[in-house]
Amino acid sequence: MAADAPVTITYVGAEGDGIGLQSDGSRLYVPLTVPGDSVRVRSLARRGDGWIGELESILQSGPGRRAPSCGHFGVCGGCTSQHWVEADYLEWNSGRLAAALRRAGFEAPAMAPIMHGSPGQRRRMDLAVRRGQGSLTLGLHRARGTEIVDLTECPVLHPALFALIAPLRVVLSSLAGVRREASVVVNLLDSGPDVLLRSDGELTTTDRTKLTNFADIHHLPRVSWAFGAGVPEAVCVLRPPITSLSGVTVTPPPGAFLQATREAEAAIVAAVLDGLPTKQTARSRVLELFAGCGTISFALARRIKVTAIEGDEALVTACHNGINQAGLMGRVAIRRRDLSRQPFLPNELAGFTTVVLDPPHAGAAAQMPYIAQAKVGTVIYVSCDPVSLGRDASVLRGAGYRLEKVTPIDQFLWSARLEAVAVFRLGK
């Protein structure tokens, strides 16, 4: 089906697509557009209550349109909003957060100014690899597709990571262990880029030698490998793969979750600390859920005693080692627990003055009812998705919590993802 007439985009939806009305009154979702654009589209397909179309031409540009920063924009699926002027993009991003909280029952959420990320600061890249006839493609998937866009530029990535893409493409193309498909995750640690390769074939002895030489030439502290979704093993460790989290040195496991940028990590930690109750005693304790490697745990431990919970064994080990090396025993304890299968129950939550949680994108649906039932005085929720935050916040609203403050943090630059730190207090 094709659009029967030009359509004017009136607003941008939650996924970053422009939305307008067709002549029959149905909604039309058009990626890569901004409010005020008059457009023609092609290849319409059903989407929920309307249609989604591919942009064919812009008949008239809206006032918020600008030239994108990257030549891959519009093809690569990494960014959705480079074509939008900064002020409008930031207003839309923080507006999605406010709308999600209003739907949760918080009529006038107190919003801090949005922290805007900077280009060239992202310290993690997660790339797809595909071997074709005579060539190897390394990059990100096409927007709404399975094709891999071979990256030749990226204004989002830290320059130290982007500089690895071309030589990675060369070395991966020479490996017998990369047959058809693979993936590469690189975290920029304080000691350098930490590489994890997952491939669809076993590495040969020659492959391992090539990767070790690659690490030496490009000053990588560690290269790890796993067959498919298996447990990673070290191919080589040329120096300790370490990074500092809130002043504590840790050795993250290969491919570990880290906040996308250093500046966002600092903003998250600051907002969490700012949300702690002002009155604390020697008996005050914080329960931190989904603690990861200890990014927030170590900062909290300098203010209050912390029990940190994490489901991934490798992350627990990294955090535990950091605690020991920093001499924080007695201030913070890390335990392993799968919170989706074994959430903390109300009786276990008794005695904690504050719960801090930083769940994955899907949120913490299994845990929230028990936090609400336990009537913990303060809940500080670190979210990377306004929708799941809104759903979980509605549980707190129903239990009598008020939203004291929410801080939006734009660490996923030019995307439809948004970090936020929301502080909830029980009672008036």
The CA-CA-CA angle for residues 257, 77, 103, to 5°, reads: 70
Query: Across the strands, what pairs with 200?
Result: none
Compute the distance between CA of residue 342 and CA of residue 247 in angstroms, rounded to an integer. Answer: 31
154 is catalytic: no
41 near 17, Cβ under 8 Å? no
Nearest to 262 by CA among 399, 364, 120, 61: 120
Exposure of 141 in the CB half-sphere (CA atoms within 13 A): 9
**What is the residue type of 227?**
F
Structure tokens at 113: 């100014």
Compute the distance between CA of residue 195 and CA of residue 214 in angstroms, rounded to an integer. Answer: 11
Structure tokens at 413: 């630059």
Q: Which of 70, 293, 319, 384 is catalytic?
A: 384
Region at 264 (left for phi over 0; alpha for psi -120 to 50; beta for the rest): alpha
Compute the distance between CA of residue 196 and CA of residue 236 in angstroms, rounded to an integer. Answer: 11
404 near 378, Cβ under 8 Å? no
Residues 77, 82, 86, 88: what is their CA dihedral angle, to the nearest 10 degrees? -70
The residues near 424 (Cβ < 8 Å, ≥ 6 apart) are 378, 379, 380, 381, 393, 396, 401, 402, 403, 404
Using the structure block, give the residue that is written with the tokens 């390394």: 138
Compute the distance between CA of residue 248 and CA of residue 295 in angstroms, rounded to an integer. Answer: 9
At what angle are helices 159-173 and 205-217 packed, to 10 degrees?
150
The residues near 414 (Cβ < 8 Å, ≥ 6 apart) are 69, 79, 80, 81, 82, 89, 156
The residues near 201 (Cβ < 8 Å, ≥ 6 apart) are 176, 177, 178, 179, 227
Active site residues: 384
